[in-house]
A and B are shown apart, each in its own frame.
Chain A
């Protein structure tokens, strides 16, 4: 009940924020442009995959950090009220993640439905893509809130959060690839599987590739994933891992929030 109220306040607050609409408009235009260039739903979806797995984490990170630092007054005001800290911070987390996810889903959903994705064969591919965008938003907003709670200095907090995104989105893949090359004489299946599970962005990519059934074409880890788990089992595993990835930053965030002085 408390949680629901907080989520409502946060969403109401964000509906007034220019950035929510900028984000929505960005995805709307992106969808239009992709459909215009590709002139084909499945091709547009594949292009979109690459954009979503990099961009939703970035925007979740930036927005999560910004929102926390801008809502310190709100937090202080509500901490003096008869409210659980967990409800307050979970509410903020869910509110921010939910409104970002809605911008994403509506922003892409509208142009794609106008193009007829609802009656096409790739509707489920498109749905999986949006669900994954939602997952990544929740995960990276959670991570951003952890970083922001741990750093009172907003410049530092912002820097660390961006660094975290960079690490997951870019640096990790590079190191991972180097590792695979360096140890190529050894059996690497298990290492590769483990390596994918600890990075939500890689995990999302694999999940989409499995759904599009082009995993084998798209690199070593995708192929291993498919070989070990098969398509449906692989998807269940990957979704399970993503759920865990939502849960862990969330709980970590609450752990920090409970110990923090305001």
Chain B
């Protein structure tokens, strides 16, 4: 259980998160949606302690993450941009993260095989394509067995086969009762994967509920239409 409590963050004059409260429950996939610049990535980075919030707190299983580091043992994070140290080889990045985390990586061999990572196992990161890098990102995220998975735009650059594997991995983690947090602009992906939607507009929580509820509330048939409807209403309000 992740609880966001009154999280506020400004970058310069821009208020990216504005007194945000969300509860993110276990054993389901929660999608954080919102237009560009609505604070999704900042929220995720605050949970990870990469961004230091101005006010408010993030509680994981009841305890604050402020100034803490050991709790990150329980989180697997897939970053939005698969940037890795350019002159390291895939193998070395994997070894490094394993050595730092000192956790068993029970799913490593399976994922390496499925995604075909062994083909570029010994290549330097700078020589990999965007899609290959994203595969390494998937591997790094899903090879550990952690209670929380945070995926920031996980579909970017993946080919259809890899995307299928990613979806399988997410479904399996959900079945194992993990807390899964995902952001994406691909509505089809969200509709297929997520059970719960948190919609952010200008760093505030605009909607928090199930997928069905969202559709009912906006009177639309698909998630894409609902989201379009919300954004339209917001612009109309302004």
Question: Contact between A83 and B69 (Cβ–Cβ < 8 Å)?
Answer: yes
Question: Contact between A79 and B100 (Cβ–Cβ < 8 Å)?
Answer: no
Residue of B nearest to A16 (CB): B87
Q: Which of B78-86, B165-173, B179-187, B213-221 contacts A (4 or more CB under 8 A)?
A: B78-86
Query: What 10 pairs across the A-B complex have the smallest Cβ distances?
Result: A73-B83, A82-B72, A82-B73, A80-B77, A261-B51, A74-B85, A262-B50, A79-B50, A84-B69, A81-B100
Q: In this complex, which of A5, A13, A77, A85 has the most chain B Cβ atoms within 10 angstroms of its Cβ? A: A77
State the main secondary structure of chain B at its contact with A: mixed
- Min CB distance B83 to A, Å, is 4
Residue of A nearest to B103 (CB): A82
What separation, in Å, do the CA atoms of A118 and B190 have in the docked complex? 70
Range of interface residues on A (Cβ < 8 Å): 20 to 34
Q: B55 in the interface, Cβ–Cβ < 8 Å?
A: no
- Residues from chain A with a CB closer than 8 A to the CB of B71 are 82
Q: B70 in the interface, Cβ–Cβ < 8 Å?
A: yes
Number of A-B contacts defined by CB within 8 Å: 62
Q: B228 in the interface, Cβ–Cβ < 8 Å?
A: no
Q: A153 in the interface, Cβ–Cβ < 8 Å?
A: no
Question: Contact between A82 and B101 (Cβ–Cβ < 8 Å)?
Answer: yes
Q: B52 in the interface, Cβ–Cβ < 8 Å?
A: yes
- Residues from chain A with a CB closer than 8 A to the CB of B79 are 76-77, 80
> Do A81 and B72 form a contact, CB below 8 Å, given A9-B96, A76-B50?
yes
Question: Contact between A261 and B48 (Cβ–Cβ < 8 Å)?
Answer: no
What separation, in Å, do the CA atoms of A213 and B50 have in the docked complex? 52
The size of the chain B interface, using a CB distance under 8 A, is 27
- Min CB distance A157 to B, Å, is 18
Interface residues of B in 39-71 (CB under 8 A from A): 45, 48-52, 69-71
Q: A259 in the interface, Cβ–Cβ < 8 Å?
A: yes
What separation, in Å, do the CA atoms of A5 and B83 have in the docked complex? 21
Interface residues of A in 201-254 (CB under 8 A from B): none
Q: B192 in the interface, Cβ–Cβ < 8 Å?
A: no
30 A-B pairs (CB sep. < 8 Å): A2-B100, A5-B99, A5-B100, A13-B85, A16-B87, A17-B87, A73-B84, A73-B85, A76-B79, A77-B83, A77-B84, A77-B93, A77-B97, A79-B48, A79-B50, A80-B75, A80-B79, A81-B72, A81-B97, A82-B69, A82-B73, A82-B100, A83-B100, A84-B69, A85-B69, A260-B52, A261-B11, A261-B45, A261-B51, A261-B52
State the main secondary structure of chain A at its contact with B: helix
Residue of B nearest to A84 (CB): B69
Q: A78 in the interface, Cβ–Cβ < 8 Å?
A: yes
- Min CB distance A57 to B, Å, is 27
Q: A71 in the interface, Cβ–Cβ < 8 Å?
A: yes
Q: In this complex, which of B71, B77, B96 has the most chain A Cβ atoms within 10 angstroms of its Cβ? A: B96
- Residues from chain A with a CB closer than 8 A to the CB of B158 are none
- Min CB distance A230 to B, Å, is 47
Besides A9-B96, A261-B51, 19 more A-B contacts (Cβ < 8 Å) are A5-B99, A13-B87, A71-B85, A72-B83, A73-B85, A76-B83, A77-B93, A77-B97, A80-B48, A80-B50, A82-B69, A82-B70, A82-B71, A82-B101, A83-B72, A84-B69, A258-B52, A259-B52, A262-B45
What separation, in Å, do the CA atoms of A210 and B75 have in the docked complex? 56
- Min CB distance B58 to A, Å, is 14
